[in-house]
Chains A and B, each alone.
Chain A
Amino acid sequence: MPGQMPSRMPGWMLRRPYLAVAWLRWLNLLRRRPSLIAVGAVAAVLLIWEITREQFGSWLEDAWSYWGAVAVGAAFHSMLATGRARARVLAEDSYSWLAPLPIAPSRLSRMVSGLCLQLVALAAVLLVSAASGAVRAATAEKLFLVLAVSYLCGFALGRLSKRGEAQGGVPDSNYAAAKRPRSRWASDPQLTPLSFWSEARARVLLKPKVSARVTLLFLLSVPAGMDGGALARQAFGTAAAALVVLSLGGYTVAALMTAFAAGKWLTPTPLRAGPFARAIGSRVTLIQTVTCAAVLLLLTAIAPPHLIGRLTVEAFAFLLLSSVLIALAARSAVR
């Protein structure tokens, strides 16, 4: 037809630009980095190997025996994800390049699509696991039912969230704190604000939503029970340790990300790698050191001395490794 755009995309998809854009993003990513297909294939093989093991089947059986905890966890996750998706969709409706198009906004489908994909993936995992005999088919069916119902309940609760409605400005800006300017900023300029950049980025990475999910994941990974016994203590201990590790690692990752982002911006200046690395890493390393010291101090109340000794060595090793990584990143960022 004259004037019609040549396209291999089906008409129903072209009439849904948000869906079409999401699909094309994935397609273009694979076109630009074909190696991802091989990586994906290897990951899929490993996943299939894992979910067909008997050990995985026994985990699923354990999960079924604590189906209440699984249901609460899944509903909580679904609620958070829906709240986030809702905020994203509302922001897209205001700022997206597709917003001015004369199309129905299809908010519900954009909110629910991520959860649906997750459920499909979970169904596939349970199906393969059941087909391989790792888990009983009845258990897999009941688990899927619990997950599906929990996701639905979480979605309903998440839709009630008011998040994103009154949120002005730019996402994540609220995690950066505006420091009172130094009085001598113009007469004695320093690189120290770079350290605040690393810290702000770490706050974005470690926002409560992320920390809560990691903690929940670890809590659910240990079948704790509700009786406050040894298993429960183990679960809470694991969750607390996960939070500490997440926090320490998050600060290092934030510093590395900041080094590369700042490097791009500062490349046209004669900045040297040493002062740059110090500026990027000083505050992060200080925060990590204080965190390690506080955790070790608290542990002295409950842990035996040999364990404290081992953890102290590990903390020093981590701080050293983190500093070396930040220095290397700074060096490669400002050539």
Chain B
Amino acid sequence: MEDAFTIANKNFKSRLIVGTGKYKNFEQTASAVKASGADIVTVAVRRVNILDKKQPLLMDYLNPKSITYLPNTAGCFTSADALRTLRLAREMGGWRLVKLEVLGDKKTLYPDMIETIKSTEILVKEGFEVMVYCTDDPILSKKVEDAGACAIMPLGAPIGSGMGLQNKVNIELIKEQSSVPVIVDAGVGTASDATIAMELGCDGVLVNTAIAEAKDPILMAEAMKYAVIAGRKSFKAERMKKRKYGSSSSPLDHLI
């Protein structure tokens, strides 16, 4: 496959991963996912609502046979909770490729990296392929890779903040030193943020709130699709060198 995006030995066409939270309803979720062209969607594990059995199910709108479900531990603040969530996800239908996120603070939603690394080691031992949400610290993200992560997912800015990549230098350093895919997760606020992440050389981008909270989520999903494609092509094309002064685009010889 041309310019394949490979995670844990599986090839994916789209380098955009989308979250399925915060949408108005499942119809809108499904339309946005379709418009985004994503092959992977993150999903959360929660209790079935026993009192209201008529509630629609995500699986009735997004077929896990045609799109890769990436179970996520969003909302887990301890290693124990995260492990429990992913073990349940695996039991649900054999999901081994998972996204680990162990949060350390309710306000910033910053990851607790000590708990995250500990959980990664345990999950890898249990046979999971773990994509790991982490801070944009090159030392800690290296430790995440050493713990056996199949992808590193540094934050661009806090989850749901839409502030864009706050530390491009760190993201670039992390990409340079990693031998597993680096996917910017969290902080993307608009399409150009996704392009910037891809231009830095990242392998992919995960977006949820920027699509779900756009006035027109379906249109923004499509914008994200093209933004990621543009950023990837731009990175591969290798941009021109910057100059301090102007350089005429038309030849100056034979001027009339």
Whether A and B are associated in the same complex: the answer reads: no
- Name A's B-contacting residues (CB within 8 A): none
Q: Hey, which bits of chain B sit against chain A, CB under 8 A? A: none
